[in-house]
Amino acid sequence: MKVLTSQRATLKSSLLNHIVISYQYLITMLPTQEVNTLTEMLISGYRLDGRSINEYREISFRFPQGKDPNVSGCCVVKIGATTVMAQVSVEVIEPKHFRPSQGMLFVHFDASILKLSKTLYRKQKRDDEGRRLSAVLQTLLRDSIDLDALCIVAWERVFAVRVELRALSYDGNLGDCGTLAAVAALAAFRRPDVYVDDMGKVLVDFEAKFRPRVPLGIRRTPVLVTLGLTADAKVVLVDPTAREELILTGGRVLLGLTNTSEICCLYTTGLSVPIQCSSLSRCIHLANSKAKSLVSLINWALEGLSIQREANLAAAHARSCELNNSVLTTSNAPLVLSTTTFLLDKNNQMDHETGSYREEGEILPADHNGLYSDLDNDDMDVVSSDDDDEGKDPQSLMKSHIKHRNETKLLPYGVIEVSSSSNMNDQISDKLLPNSSVNDFDEFDSINIFNANSISLNTSNQIFTEGFQQNDQIIESLYKEPIDDDDEEEDNITILNLD
C-alpha cells in the first residue's frame, strides 16, 4: 500500500505540474484511476481488450499489387490497430572492398508517426524508435538472406536489397509488426535474373524479357517478439498496446527468434528497474513458443499469396474453354490473409444462408499437417479444449444442411474452421476458395445463388446435361457482376472482352 500511495502522490503532483506548464504533456499521461485499474487488471491476469497475458492481437497480411502482380515485394501487416508497410527494392551497386562477392541489405524503418503523439522534446530531431528498430531488423534480416547469391560479377557488381518500412498507424508493438512485414515482403519479392549476352557481357534483365524473375534465397525466417515488463518484472506481457506501454514502466525486451529455437536478438530497452537472469530466461522461454506460432503464421500467409499468384497466372493464360473456371478461382482468392479469433457468438459462427463457415479474407487450408507439429504442447492443449467445447454446435448445424462428414482443422491462434466437401464442387473447379468481397451486396446475392444451386444439385441426381445448364448460369452471373462494380473487376472485363 505504501508503494501505491507514493505512486499516486507522484502522479498527482506531476499531473498538476503538467497542467501548469503545457497542455502537450497531458496526451502522454494517463489519469491516476486508469493507471490503477489497468495495473490491477494486469496483476490479476486480464487485459483491457479481453486478451490473456500471452496472446497476440489479430494479425492480417495484405500484399498490394503494382504494375506486375507477380513481382511486387510490398506487404502491409496489421496487428490490431498497428499498421506497418514494407517495400523491398533491388539495385545494382559496387561491392565493398572487404566483401567483394557478397550482396548488401539495407533496412530503414520510418517511425516518424510517433513524433506526432509523443512530443516530449520539442526540438529533438532523432527518430529514436525508428533507429532502434532499424538496428534490430538489420541484425535479424542480415543473416536470414543468402547474400552470396546476390553477386553478379565479383569486385564489380552486386545486388543491394533495400527494405523500406513505414509505420502507418501506431497502437503499440511496432517491432513485431515491422518484422512480420519485412520478412513477408522479402519472401514475396522477386529480383531480376542475370544472363550472359552474345557478346559475352553479363547483363541484368530488369524488365524480365529473357528470363522470369527469381525469388531471394531465404535461409531462415526470423521473427521478433516484444515482451513488456511491469515495474517489478513480475508480469510479462506479450504484444503490449500503446496504452499498456505507458503503464509498463519496467521496459521492453525484444527477442528475435526462429522456428528452430535460435535466438539472434536480445535487446532490452527502457528498463527502469534492472531484471534478473531468471526473469530474462523466463522471457526467452515464453517468446520461444510465440515465435514458433508466428513463423507458422508467416508460412501460412505466404502459401495464400502463392495461391493468389497461381490463380492470376491461370486467369491470364487461360484458354477460352477454361476461362470460366480460372476467373472463378481468381475472384475467390482473397487479398487479405488474416487470423481471426474464434467468436463465441453462435450467430457469427455460421452463415445460415450459405451453409458454410467463412470469415472475410480467410482461406480454407489444403494441407497443413506439417504446421501442427510446430506448435507447442501448451498451445495444442488450449486449442483442443476449445474444439471439444465449441465443436458440437456447428456440427449439429451442418448436419441439417449437408449430410457429408465435417472436418475441423486447427490453425494457429485457435482458429477453428469447418469445411464441407461435396462432389459437385470438385467438378466445377479444383480450387474453390471463399470470396473476399462479401461486403458488396450484389456479389453476395450472386454467391448465394451459386451456392444454392450447388446445394439443390446435391439432392437431385447428377446428370451430365445439368452440368451444361450450370455453366450457363455461371456465365450469366459473371455478366451481371461487372455492370455494378466496374472499378473492382477491370481484369474480368478485359478477359471477358476477349471473347
Partner 1 sequence: MAEIFYNGRRVDGRRPNEIRRVDCQFGSGYSDGIVFLHQGNTKVIASVVGPHAPRVKGDGTPDGATITCQFTKPPFASTSGERRKLSSKDRSANDFATAIEEIFSCVIRTEKYPMSQIDIFLEVIQSDGSEFACAVNATTLALTDAGIEMDCLVSAATVGLWGSHVFADLCRFEENPRISQLTVVCLPNVHLLSGVNTEEQIGQWKSQPQILHTRLSSWLPVERLQPLITEAVKVAQTLQKEFSYWLRGRVRSGFITR
275 binds partner 1 (CB under 8 A): yes
Tell me the window of 48-56, 166-174, 263-271, 302-310 that interacts with partner 1 (CB under 8 A). 263-271
288 binds partner 1 (CB under 8 A): yes
Q: How far apart are CA 266 and CA 251, in angstroms?
A: 13
28 binds partner 1 per the rule CB under 8 A: no
Long-range pairs for 1-10 at CB < 8 Å and ≥24 separation? Answer: 4/36, 7/35, 8/32, 8/36
Shortest distance in whole angstroms from residue 342 CB to partner 1: 30
C-alpha cell recorded at residue 352: 445460415
CB of 74 to partner 1, least distance (A): 24
The answer to the question of residue 372 lying near partner 1 (CB under 8 A) is no
Q: Of the two residues 3 and 366, which places its CB atom closer to partner 1 in the complex?
A: 3
Q: Classify strands 157-169 and 104-110 as parallel, antiparallel or unpaired.
A: parallel
Choice from 17, 348, 427, 469 touching partner 1 (CB under 8 A): 17
39 interacts with partner 1 by CB under 8 A: no
The region of 13-21, 163-171, 420-428, 440-448 touching partner 1 under the rule CB under 8 A is 13-21
Q: Which is nearest to 228 in space by CA: 203, 208, 254, 209? A: 254
**Residue 22 touching partner 1 (CB under 8 A):** yes
265 touches partner 1 (CB under 8 A): yes
Under rule CB under 8 A, which residues in 214-233 are in contact with partner 1? 232
| Inter-helix orientation angle 377-390/392-401, to 10° | 50
Under the binding rule (CB under 8 A), the answer on residue 110 touching partner 1 is no
Using an 8 Å Cβ cutoff, are 470 and 453 in contact? Answer: yes
DSSP 95: P
Contact (CB, 8 A) for 25 and 18: yes
Residue 131 sits in the site that holds partner 1 (CB under 8 A):
yes
* 271 forms part of the interface with partner 1 (CB under 8 A): yes
Tell me the window of 39-47, 74-82, 156-164, 270-278 that interacts with partner 1 (CB under 8 A).
Answer: 270-278
CB of 291 to partner 1, least distance (A): 10
| Residue 405 is a binding residue for partner 1 (CB under 8 A) | no
Q: Closer to partner 1 by CB, 298 or 318: give it.
A: 298
> For residue 182, what is the enclosing H or E element?
helix 174-188
* 323-332 vs 490-498: helix crossing angle, rounded to 10: 180
Q: Nearest to residue 291, comparing CAs of 233, 342, 220? A: 220
Query: In this structure, what DSSP letter does residue 410 have?
Result: E
User: Which one of residues 83, 134, 329, 340 is an interface residue with partner 1 (CB under 8 A)?
Assistant: 134
User: Which residue in 266, 402, 432, 438 binds partner 1 (CB under 8 A)?
Assistant: 266
Q: Are 136 and 175 in contact (CB under 8 A)?
A: yes
Contacts for 162 with CB less than 8 Å, ≥ 6 apart: 88, 89, 90, 91, 105, 106, 108
Stretch that binds partner 1, among 43-51, 165-173, 268-276, 424-432 (CB under 8 A): 268-276
Residue 202 beta carbon to partner 1: minimum distance, rounded to whole angstroms: 28
**Are residues 184 and 75 in contact, defined by beta-carbon separation less than 8 angstroms?**
yes
Q: How many CB atoms lie within 10 A of CB 1?
A: 5
**Which residue lies nearer to partner 1 by CB, 132 or 358?**
132
Number of residues that bind partner 1 (CB under 8 A): 45
Query: Which of 37, 89, 269, 477 touches partner 1 (CB under 8 A)?
Result: 269
Give the span between the Cα atoms of 205 and 213, in whole angstroms: 9
Question: Applying CB under 8 A, does 5 fall inside the site for partner 1?
Answer: no
150 binding partner 1? (CB under 8 A): no
Site for partner 1 in 315-334 (CB under 8 A): none
Site membership for partner 1, residue 365 (CB under 8 A): no
Closer of 5 and 439 to partner 1 (Cβ): 5
Pick 286 or 457: Cβ nearer partner 1: 286
Q: How far apart are alpha carbons 288 and 290 in whole angstroms?
A: 5
Applying CB under 8 A, among 199, 277, 321, 498 the residue interacting with partner 1 is 277
Q: How far apart, in Å, are the Cα atoms of 436 and each of 196, 331, 338, 365, 393?
A: 43, 8, 11, 15, 25
Q: How far apart, in whole angstroms, are the C-alpha atoms of residue 446 and residue 423?
A: 21
Q: Which residues bind partner 1 (CB under 8 A)?
A: 2-3, 10, 14, 17-18, 21-22, 120-123, 126, 128, 131-132, 134-135, 138-139, 143, 232, 257, 261-278, 280-281, 284, 288
